[in-house]
Amino acid sequence: MFKLRTPPGIFAAISLLMIVAMVVSTGLIQEPFFRHSMIEREAMTVRDMVNALALERGLTASDLKSSANEAVRHQIDQSFKVLKHLPGAARIKVFNRDGTIIWSDVPELVGTKRTAHPDRVALALNGTVQALFNPTRDTVHTGETGHPVIGTIECYVPIYAQPAGQPGAEVIGVLSLYRDPRDLNRTIQNGMYLLWAVVGGAGVLLFLALYKAFSLVYERQQSAESKFGKLTLEHERIVQIEKMSAMGELVGEIAHQLNNPLVGVINLTQLAERQVHDPQRVAELLAEVRKAGSECRDIVQRILRINQPSRSTLQSTDMVELVQDTLIFCQQSVDLKHVVRFDVPQGKFLLTVDPVLIRQALFNLIHNAILAGPGQPVQVSLNRLQRDGIDGMALDVTDEGPGFSSELAPRLFKPFFTTRANGTGLGLPVAQHIALKHGGVVLAQNLPQGGARFSIWLPLMTQP
């Protein structure tokens, strides 16, 4: 039913062991309690019986002072001999106030003070009912069958001349009754069997309920883990397909970029083969071939530059100075009529970044803004900006061009994607790669008044 090495099997084994331990410990704890309760009840029953017999015969304190009077001994014998017929009665003794045995079912004991528990006799003389189980007592014989009994139940009950509990009721003696414990033991044993059966049955029901609940939870967990594993494999497969798709698209873009100049190279070489008789023409064609080859080389170098931002050196950088240096570089590099404004903010704007990479990313955004709106001013600003609860700085580049459509927005940062005939499609992807390497991001948005804003957001705490 249970596979021990599985979690439900381990749970079942541990639960069964706990239930067995609970049942056994309950029995061991309850047995002394049951035995004590039953012995106490036996003692109370004997007390009531003894005092009823004493009152019926009219025994008085003077009757129990001495055992010499034959009439008194006869009266005591008539009073308590009925106790000899109690089931399991092994020994009966009657003590007077002096602790002397004045009557017993064993005549040899009369006149002596033989008892193994004088303290119990003393307590009974003070009115306290005493009862105990003595498992190590010497062997005695029952008065009814004469069978030997090892161990006894001993009851020490006070004898009253008046009904117990009434004012002036005086203890005139003590009766000790020794009984065979086998009936009591059988009763206790049967009670323990019943207790163990009830507790064990309840434990089994509890175990079955818990095992069922545990099994359901475990099965659902296994099912969830199996589904999650399948989803993970499916996700990995989809990611792999996406990677292959992106790789195919990238290869297609590269092939498209290289195809035109390579076709030109082939056409020019074929034409040169036909013009071998004209050295001047061949030299012109070879110059065109070299130009086309240089264009292919430039394309390959632009592709290789995509991975260059992976190498960086972080240092504390004044972002205001970085922007100003980038603007000077733009003015020297971009051969277009334009105005690039930068409102210098107050205070220091320090970030731990690679200034070369950030300058390159900012240059790409400014260059794109100039091309988006030729002859229109470009605004550069530096602001503190919190993003997703993280403090940071934003380099904003705002143009007054046409902006971008919602269809083009998802493709803005894809390598080689461009809307210009002479564009490379690498400016925004490289800027995004640089920003991500610094723990930031490049954001793009259209402005309500027209134009677009591209922002390089960098956190204040940049991780290398």
| pLDDT value of residue 179 | 83
| pLDDT value of residue 339 | 77
Residues 275-321 pLDDT 10s:
778 888 778 778 877 777 776 776 677 566 655 555 567 888 888 88
Residues 155 and 175: their CA atoms lie apart, in Å, by 8
Residues 15 and 13: their CA atoms lie apart, in Å, by 5
Q: What is the mean pLDDT of residues 23-46?
A: 80
Q: Which helix (H) or strand (E) is 89 found in, with range?
A: strand 89-95
Phi, psi of 347 (to 5 degrees): 85, 180
| pLDDT value of residue 422 | 58
* Average pLDDT across the chain, whole number: 77
Higher pLDDT, 59 or 395: 395
Q: Which of 75-89, 96-110, 413-427 has the highest mean pLDDT?
A: 96-110
Residues 418-451 pLDDT 10s:
666 555 566 778 888 888 888 888 888 888 888 8
Residues 321-367 pLDDT 10s:
888 888 877 765 555 556 788 888 877 888 888 888 888 888 888 88
Residues 164-186 pLDDT 10s:
666 667 888 999 988 887 777 78
Which ranges of 305-388 does DSSP label H, i.e. alpha helix? 319-333, 355-372
Which ranges of 60-181 does DSSP label H, i.e. alpha helix? 70-80, 118-125
Report whether pLDDT(141) > 60.
Answer: no
Percent of the chain with pLDDT over 90: 2
| pLDDT value of residue 62 | 80
Residues 427 and 63: their CA atoms lie apart, in Å, by 127
Give the sign of the dihedral formed by CA 350, CA 354, CA 360, CA 365: negative
Residues 163 and 457: their CA atoms lie apart, in Å, by 102
| pLDDT value of residue 464 | 42
CATH: 3.30.300.30, 4.10.640.10, 3.40.50.2300, 3.30.565.10. Which one for 311-459? 3.30.565.10
Q: Which residue has the tokens 């099994």?
A: 215
Task: Please list the residue range(s) of the chain that carry CATH number 3.30.450.20.
Answer: 7-180
| pLDDT value of residue 145 | 46
Q: How confident is the model at residue 39 (pLDDT cuts 50, 70, 90)?
A: confident
Residues 117 and 111: their CA atoms lie apart, in Å, by 17
Task: Please list the residue range(s) of the chain that carry CATH number 3.30.565.10.
Answer: 311-459
Q: What order do you get walking across the sheet with 340-342 strand by strand?
A: 340-342, 378-387, 390-398, 452-459, 441-446
Q: Which of 81-90, 102-111, 421-430 has the highest mean pLDDT?
A: 102-111
Residue 273 burial (CB < 10 Å; 0-12/13-18/19+)?
exposed
| pLDDT value of residue 258 | 65
Q: Where are the beta strands (DSSP E) in 151-210?
A: 152-160, 171-179
Report whether pLDDT(111) > 70.
Answer: yes
| pLDDT value of residue 197 | 82
The CATH class that applies to domain 7-180 reads alpha beta
Report whether pLDDT(253) > 70.
Answer: no
Report whether pLDDT(51) > 80.
Answer: yes
Strand partners of residue 392:
385, 459
Lowest-pLDDT choice from 38-52, 134-148, 370-384: 134-148
Report whether pLDDT(135) > 80.
Answer: no
Residues 214-251 pLDDT 10s:
788 888 888 888 888 888 877 777 766 666 665 666 66
Q: How confident is the model at residue 139 (pLDDT cuts 50, 70, 90)?
A: low
Q: What is the DSSP letter of 95?
A: E
**What does the angle CA 449 – CA 362 – CA 433 come to, to the nearest 5 degrees?**
105
Residues 350 and 5: their CA atoms lie apart, in Å, by 61
| pLDDT value of residue 144 | 46
Coil, helix or strand at residue 48: helix
315-342: b (≥16 Cβ within 10 Å) or e:
eebebbebbeebbeebeeeeeeebebeb
Report whether pLDDT(143) > 60.
Answer: no
Q: Percentage helix, strand, coil, to 5, in the chain? A: 55, 20, 30
**What does the angle CA 171 – CA 172 – CA 173 come to, to the nearest 5 degrees?**
100
